[in-house]
Amino acid sequence: MDEEKLLQRITVNPKIFGGKPIIRGRRLAVEHVLGMLAAGGTPEEILEGYPWLEREDIQACLVYATRVVGNERVTPMFVESAS
């Protein structure tokens, strides 16, 4: 499935989580899925915990995060001095 098709799975509803990106209109925020992955959760574990979720939904979260981060400048917390 191409990225544009995957991104159609990410929606926003001002009545759910204050308009944060969610998956297919459900009460599961993209940031929550990304947090589970960052904490070491596997896609299989996430799918097991959310039976309605599909593997493509997880892929969509990753594509979304890549697009968001690609448009941001991240400043490191610690800047080494040139000595």
Domains defined for the chain, CATH in brackets: 3-68 (1.10.10.10)
3-state secondary structure of 53: coil
Q: How much is the pLDDT for 80? A: 60
Q: How much is the pLDDT for 17? A: 93
Mean pLDDT by 10 residues, the chain (83 residues): 92 92 95 98 98 98 92 62 59
24 sits in the region (left: phi over 0; alpha: psi -120 to 50; else beta) called: left
pTM of the model: 0.83
Distance in angstroms (rounded) separating the CA atoms of residues 37 and 41: 5
Distance in angstroms (rounded) separating the CA atoms of residues 30 and 10: 8
18 sits in the region (left: phi over 0; alpha: psi -120 to 50; else beta) called: left
Q: How much is the pLDDT for 28? A: 97
**What secondary structure letter does DSSP report for 17?**
G
